[in-house]
Structure 1
Amino acid sequence: MNITHRPVLLAEAVTALTNGPLIQNQNAAQNILVIDGTFGRGGHTQALLKQLPASARMISFDKDLDAIAVAKQINDPRLTIVHDSFAQMDQYMAAESVDGILLDLGISSPQVDEAHRGFSFRREGPLDMRMNTDQGMTAAEWLEQAPQEEITHVIKTYGEERFAFQIAKAIVAKREEGSSPKTTTQLASLVAGVVRTREAGQDPATRTFQALRIFINRELEDLELGLKAALKLLKPGARLAVISFHSLEDRIVKQFLQAHAKVEVPRGLPVREKDLPQSALEIIGRIKPSDLEISENPRARSAIMRVAEKRMGVLA
């Protein structure tokens, strides 16, 4: 099987999950169930399978039909493939039934490199950007009908783009001329004509393309739902590892973990620390790629992995 995607923090992610107390306990080996929430091109899934016992089970999710096609080439009876978002994973199994969950939130290299997917501003292709090409509007279709205020909001919120208003105005002006952007290079050229300054080494269209991709695929909504589902599914003692690639994702992950790693007590309530109820999660750590990994795979440079463990005796 030809895998062109280089998974980020591969060894670190496998270690983070398999070093959890449940998987380390060989008495529970026959019951081990691990979830890879984003199969991608299977790097993390296959590395985890190599470390799991023959009696373990693994479920990998992905919205992308191309990823599902690759996943079906893996000949391992322990692996189950689900064409769905990880946001829905709690619909496929019972609460507190999972020993480890990995969420790699980055898009795969083939998604960026294959021009027909519409994710890359460097390659000419239809302005699609859908992870699941079976459903939903393409980015071009949305830009064809969305109000200027909504386009501005999306680009500003999901791209953190300070020229969002000007970009949206230019898109609507083109639309009114009958030449709304239909391809990646048309949109990239339009944005470049508006964004006059940008960080060194960053294409003017970077933030706009990020914003549209996140919006079209409901990535942040899926992340919030997926984190809630993960907390419900993890057994006490099981681990969650989440790899994010930009500040919007990482902020959601960080705040979710922190919120469930502490117990809120109303101010002034006379409660001793030993009498407090136990928080649901213990934060294990925050890991970034090594300099060597970044030099070998520049797409890893913005990655952050956060790891947490569900506390024993806690119900989600």
Structure 2
Amino acid sequence: MDETLQHITVLAPEAVDALLGGAHPPTATFVDGTFGRGGHARRILERLGPGQRLLAFDKDPQAIAAAARITDARFSIRHEGFSHLGDLPQASVAGVLLDLGVSSPQIDAPERGFSFRFDGPLDMRMDTTRGQSVADWLAHAEVPRIAEVIRDYGEERFAGPIAKAIVAWRKERGPVASTAELAGIVAGAVKTREPGQNPATRTFQALRIFINAELEELQRALEASLSVLAPGGRLVVISFHSLEDRIVKQFIALHSREVFDRRAPFAAPAPMRLKALGRVKPSAAEVAANPRARSAVMRVAERTEVRP
């Protein structure tokens, strides 16, 4: 990949302020669940005390290579997805930051296959060292399953015609192997589209989310955060589409209220586990400088005190 490709970190100062807010012990550990190219991590390290530390996660080997350039002894990284957050000890973390989705270097590298704007192999794996590529999956998946994935993960109303067109191409010409081929198939199957949106946008989003199990990983990480966050620790999540944001919003809402057991009306309610601290959108100035920030939503919650 061209190392000149740059990623502009979205909501960087707001996210770091939210993550580090509150009082934390001098030995506190913070987690950056999506290192990417280190935009948030470097800002966090600038503000940590000498005894505090930052642990990062990332599935992308290129992100791991970029992280190797950080020589700060307070920093470490794991070549794993952030769903491995649950491997950490209970109540051992003072803050968790999750910056979801795909980074600009990934999108802008044709060999990664994330974008319909460049012709390249139809890969889309976050971790190129393991797992099945989109091309591998489409080579064998049948129409109902392809349609289900494109509909559920892309909210694409033409999922059925797209799935049929993909399988018809496969039968006539062989497996769909490149991003240009897939984009062309989708364009032929989608008859109308919102102004300014490429017909392939939702299909590419759906296949990327599916092949990387992004929503399932997000759910596991959110649940793990309840265990690993110490009381007063912050959960900060930046999402870029409605499927992710809905999961985060509902998770915070669910755990931000006391739960009464209707089968035991006189029992004390289960305590709320999170306190919602707010929702932040990028400023107009940030969106003007970085159009990819326009759909971002940041939600912040704080782990409440655990009752005996």
Aligned residues: 306
Cross-structure match for 2:286: 293
% identical equivalent positions: 53
The partner residue of 2:32 within 30, 36, 54 is 36
Measured after TM superposition, the shift of residue 3 of structure 1 is 7.1
Equivalence for 2:42 = 46
Could you tell me how far 1:89 is from its partner in structure 2? 1.9
Distance 1:196 1:12 in 2: 40
Deviation at 1:269, TM superposition (A): 6.3
C-alpha contact (below 8 Å) 2:110/2:120 kept by paired residues: yes
User: C-alpha offsets along residues 115-165 of structure 1, whole Å, 9 cap, x if unaligned?
Assistant: 000000010100000000111111011000001110000000000000000
Contact 2:91 2:230 (C-alpha < 8 Å) held by counterparts: yes
Distance 1:90 1:123 in 2: 37
Aligned 8 A contact 1:280 1:314 in 2: no
2:126 aligns with: 131
The CA deviation string for residues 93-123 of structure 1, in whole angstroms up to 9 with x for no partner, is 2110000000000211000000000000010
User: How far apart in 2 are the matches of 1:293 and 1:164?
Assistant: 33
* 1:179 CA drift (Å): 2.9
Equivalent residue of 1:21, what SS? coil
Give the Cα separation in 2 of the matches to 1:70 and 1:136: 22
Alpha-carbon shift at residue 55 of structure 1 (Å): 1.2
SS at 1:177 equivalent: helix
Determine the C-alpha separation between the residues in 2 that align with 1:54 and 1:163. Answer: 54
Q: 2:196: which partner in 1?
A: 201
Aligned-partner Cα distance in 1 for 2:269–2:164: 53
Task: Give the structure 2 partner of residue 7 of structure 1.
Answer: 9
Contact 1:155–1:161, Cα closer than 8 Å, also in 2: yes
The verdict on how the C-alpha distance between 1:181 and 1:281 changes in structure 2, with shifts beyond 3 A counting, is same
Q: CA–CA distance in 1 between the matches of 2:57 and 2:264?
A: 44
Q: Aligned pair 1:175/2:170, yes or no?
A: yes
Which residue is equivalent to 1:281?
274
Letter in 2 for 1:292: A
Structural mapping, 1:125-274, within 5 Å: 125-267=120-262
Which sections of structure 2, spanning at least 5 residues, go unmatched? none
TM-score, normalization: structure 1? 0.93
**Residues 181, 69 of structure 1: alpha-carbon distance in 2 compared, 3 angstrom cutoff:** same
- Counterpart of 2:65 in structure 1 is 69
Letter aligned with residue 218 of structure 1: A
Distance (whole Å) between structure 1 residues aligned to residue 262 and residue 63 of structure 2: 49
Kept in 2: contact 1:289–1:304 (CA 8 A) = yes
Deviations along 1:13-60, one digit per CA (max 9) or x if unpaired, are: 0110111233xxxxx21x110000000110000001111111111101
Q: Aligned letter for 1:55?
A: G
CA RMSD, Structure 1 to Structure 2 (Å): 1.6
> For the residues of structure 2 that align with 1:53 and 1:41, how far apart are their CA atoms?
22
2:75 is aligned with 1:79: yes
Contact 1:98 1:235 in 2 (8 A): yes
Q: Which residue of 1 aligns with 2:22?
A: 20
1:103-118 → structure 2 map (5 Å cutoff): 103-118=98-113
- Alpha-carbon distance between aligned partners in 1 of 2:256 and 2:203, rounded to the nearest angstrom: 34
Residue 52 and residue 4 in structure 1: after superposition, are their counterparts in 2 closer, same or farther (change >3 A)? Answer: same
Moved over 3 A (4+): 266-272
1:232-273 Cα distance to aligned partner (Å, 9 max, x none): 10001100000000010011111111111112224596559x
Task: Tell me if structure 2 keeps the 8 A contact 1:234–1:310.
Answer: yes
Shift of 1:313: 2.5
